[in-house]
Amino acid sequence: MGIDLATGILWFTAFLFSTTVHEAMHALVAWKGGDPTAYHGGQVSLSAIPHIRREPIGMLLVPLLTSFTQGWAMGWASAPYDPVWAERHPKRAALMAAAGPAGNFLIAIVAFILIKIGLLAGWFVAPNHVNFSHLIAFASGGDGAVPMGLSILLMFNVIAGTFNLLPLPPLDGSAVITLFLPDDLAAGLRNLERNGTFSMIGLIVAWRFFPVMVDPLFVLVLKLVHPSASYQ
């Protein structure tokens, strides 16, 4: 198996797992908060199948294409919810929105801990050159699926969690931010979220702005993983 094929498989696998966790967290918190819509759709599950059935293009086609042509994965998914419930319980709806990125950050924390354990145990070392797929290497030499997979899981989930927290509709952050706003401002933002045109503008702005954040995020993660290493 060539390294490019291996990288594509690992990126797609990381996307599928991480996005499934993201959507399952949305569904779980909504269910616990009184909205069983996603639960009845089978999305309170770590199986990717119900999420793929809902969004086959965003969960399969686009991430497969990007994983094997770009060397990284992108796509989308969604969990259904009851808008009447969300309007009646805006705080619960905001917590539901926050749960998805929280799932991404939880995966990133687990991957980070495993990487640090491997470094302390001498299984992993800092490589000569780093990128999103190559934060660590086996001490015995070579990339290997384990260090590459942990690197991808860490970087993908840091990026996905941060991107989804941008306070622009239709991203999760536009609902999360209402937890910290006065009631009148929060209600106004929720009204804007229901406007499809505004959501499209928000998504375009987010896509244009987020690349500016990617390099600083990578540098931050790299410093946390290898605090004493120096890379150009």
From the list 177, 204, 9, 188, the residue with the least C-alpha distance to 93 is: 177
pTM (2 decimals)? Answer: 0.92
Q: Report the first-to-last Cα separation within the chain, whole angstroms.
A: 30
Secondary structure tally for the chain: helices H, strands E: 11, 2
pLDDT of residue 185: 80
Residue 190: enclosing H or E segment and its boundaries? helix 183-193
- Cβ(12)–Cβ(154) below 8 Å: no
For residue 196, what pLDDT is reported? 65
Contacts of 224 (CB under 8 A, 6+ apart): 112
Instruction: From 51, 36, 47, 44, select the one nearest 92 (Cα to Cα).
Output: 36
Structural domain boundaries in the chain = 3-225
Answer for the pair 63, 71: CB distance below 8 angstroms, yes or no: no
d(Cα 87, Cα 107) in Å, to the nearest integer? 30
pLDDT tens, per residue, the chain with 232 residues: 444 888 999 999 999 999 999 999 999 999 999 999 999 999 999 999 999 999 999 999 999 999 999 888 999 999 999 989 998 999 999 999 999 999 999 999 999 999 999 999 999 999 989 999 999 999 988 778 999 999 999 999 999 999 999 988 888 998 898 888 887 787 777 777 766 666 677 778 777 888 888 999 999 999 999 998 887 6
Structure tokens at 12: 């797609």
Report the C-alpha gap between 184 and 64 in whole angstroms: 43
- In this structure, what token pair is assigned to residue 176? 């999360």
